[in-house]
Structure 1
């Protein structure tokens, strides 16, 4: 853990080799998180866990963004946000008319498997999450780490340097808030 923080500090000071040292240290954990998230996606995705990790990592250490993390928790929070944005962009692309967004996608090999997360659901959750983050930023971060990175409440709390009790408090608030928010979105106006 301390190695990651030292490498992040070196990267923030402009050490170009630091990002190359960082990937081997965080790759397995990022891949595990991405696998957990992708397991909840519907079958037949063009984006897999490996592609999600690689795209997120490129966005995190790419030439345009430059590393700027304070510690390990901050890095993984940034990775979760990056994965969230990638999945939302993918859902938006798939929901566009020219990509067959108005049609249900069916995997011909597994026709009887129910789909778990449709693109419009991912978009609704993302928009509600943005509103939640405006009201309670920590609750929003907990949800991002839970929903988009697949962390447990305790792992998300550790990444954000929160106590176990505070982690569960923010998670409970976020779940209740999102439940109300998402159920309001479904009511006709």
Structure 2
């Protein structure tokens, strides 16, 4: 674990214990990574009307409202941030398209390591498929969310889920296949 990881983990634990100054110190340390996560999300979104800072702010506001999370470490925090950003984007998609079904769909572009072509995925369809996958295999759904929405590596995901990176890779392969079929 790097010094940065240890320091972020300590700040998360102090914040969880009620130390608001720890939160003030935490934000500058995690902001650049939150910005990177938000850019990943928005780069995939071909027709978005939310700015990077807006996505970060909304995710931040939701994360600081969470009182019952036992923050394990820095990676756990960023996996929660990725999940939160997913919810923000899906909610915005649904709000913007409530009156215009089928028009101006938000499409996420995903380039699979195994495919050469980019694949456009409607955000609403992806979220519905992920909800179904959560019912079938919650760990696989978590892996997809952390990898797709959070840009986390297999090693980082393995750390959050307390499994091996080989397990993450195996579950990721199965989940990709399941999602591919579900989105057809």
Are the equivalent residues in 1 in contact too, given 2:75–2:156 (CA < 8 A)? no
Cα root mean square deviation, aligned? 2.3
Does 2:125 correspond to 1:124? Answer: yes
Q: Secondary structure at the match of 2:152?
A: coil
Partner of 2:17: 13
Question: Residue 112 of structure 1 corresponds to which residue in structure 2?
Answer: none
Aligned residues: 168
- Deviations along 1:43-97, one digit per CA (max 9) or x if unpaired, are 4x221222111110111013xx336222222211110110000010011012111
- Cα distance in 1 between the residues matched to 2:20 and 2:168: 35
Where does the alignment leave 5 or more consecutive residues of structure 1 unmatched? 106-114, 184-189
CA contact 1:61–1:67 (8 Å) conserved in 2? no
User: Does structure 1 residue 23 correspond to structure 2 residue 27?
Assistant: yes
Q: Cα distance 1:152–1:37, how it changes in 2: closer, same or farther (>3 A)?
A: farther
1:80-159 counterparts in 2 under 5 A? 80-97=82-99, 100-104=100-104, 116-117=107-108, 121-159=122-160
Q: Quick check: 2:108–2:123 contact (8 Å CA) kept in 1?
A: yes
Change (3 A) 1:159 1:26: farther
TM-score, L = length of structure 2: 0.80
Q: CA deviation at 1:31?
A: 0.6
Residue pair 2:90, 2:124 contacting (<8 A) in 1 also: yes
Q: Which has the larger radius of gyration?
A: 1
CA distance in 1, matches of 2:97, 2:59: 21
Displacement after TM superposition at 1:146 (Å): 1.9
d(CA) in 2 for partners of 1:167, 1:117: 23
